Amino acid sequence: MTTQDLYPTRLGQEVKMLERHDPVVWGSGEGSALTAAQVESYECDGYLQLPALFSESEVEAFQEEIAKLTSDRELLASERVIIEPDEDSLALRSVFDVHREGMFRDLVRDERVSNVARQLLGSDVYIHQSRINLKPPFRGKEFFWHSDFETWHAEDGMPSMRALSASVSLTENVHSNGPLMVIPGSHKHFVACGGETPAEHHRESLRRQEIGVPSDEMLTRLADESEVRNLVGPIGSVTFFDCNLMHGSNGNITPQARRNVFFVYNSVHNTLVEPFAAPARRPNHIAARNFEAVPLPVG
């Protein structure tokens, strides 16, 4: 059975903006994790920040877990690790598939995060992707503007916009160290991109994405209809954002690192099919196909 492609992109068509066919908040939106006002804010803007959701001591423990991971020689030699795009760089950019490791196994199940995902997506959830973003001091490169869903749809076969990201800040996010930037309200449109997806595209795109990014004209239009916001806040804050929200970040040339651990929760009713616009599936450590639902909290 073929799944209908509601969001055609990278198929040689004209670059254009399409209306969203899916809800932002699925189901009733009711639950104990968020208030009605918070749900309304998420639906309107496409993101929600919860400041200092985790304590400094909890964040310190997460940092220690990262130190273990980034000193693991076997892991560093694997495809789960992405290096910054400078030709001679050895600086780590990202580490994927971390929700199976140490304390992050518990973090992804923590009801302060997972219950928000369940409430907004209106179902049980599983982890589509997880990673640590290690924007290092002085040499942390930018992430250009993009919609995650455009990539997950084209390259992973995610049918609908029934997924969200939770970004846990492990360092303070300030205006100068390359914080997450968003265009509020942009999640209500889908920007169909031109070009075609090359084979093994993830080997380049995870370092520097050039295919599946919106045109300057489309970005200008979205920004003119809204604004660009830097999402700053203290350590332990969590930003939830819709899978189709246009976002990116500047480079970091300060002495201050910017680190976050990033979980993508997908509805169990939105599991992956074959890629809509790519020659082959991406590896399972980037886009999970063999999955288990995140356990519900006990009690």
Provide the whole-model pTM: 0.93
CA-based nearest residue to 206, from 275, 285, 137: 285
Phi first, then psi, for residue 160 (nearest 5°) are: -125, 165
Alpha carbons 138 and 166: distance in angstroms, whole number? 26
Distance of CA 132 to the CA centre of its chain: 11
pLDDT at 218: 94
Residue boundaries of the structural domains of the chain: 31-267
pLDDT at 84: 66
Under a CB-based contact definition with an 8 Å cutoff, are residues 232 and 179 in contact?
Answer: yes
Q: Nearest 5°: CA angle at 220, between 219 and 226?
A: 90
The pLDDT profile of the chain, 299 residues, written as one tens digit per residue, is 568 999 999 998 788 999 999 999 999 999 999 999 999 999 999 999 999 999 999 999 999 988 888 787 877 777 788 776 665 555 677 888 889 888 899 999 999 999 999 999 999 999 999 998 888 788 777 778 999 999 999 999 999 999 999 999 999 989 988 889 999 999 999 999 988 898 878 776 666 677 788 999 999 999 999 999 999 999 999 999 999 999 998 888 888 888 899 999 999 999 999 999 999 999 999 999 988 899 876 54
Architecture of domain 31-267: Sandwich (2.60)
Pair of tokens at residue 174? 């300030």
CA distances from 100 to 6, 109, 276, 294 (A): 32, 11, 28, 12
pLDDT at 178: 84
pLDDT at 81: 80
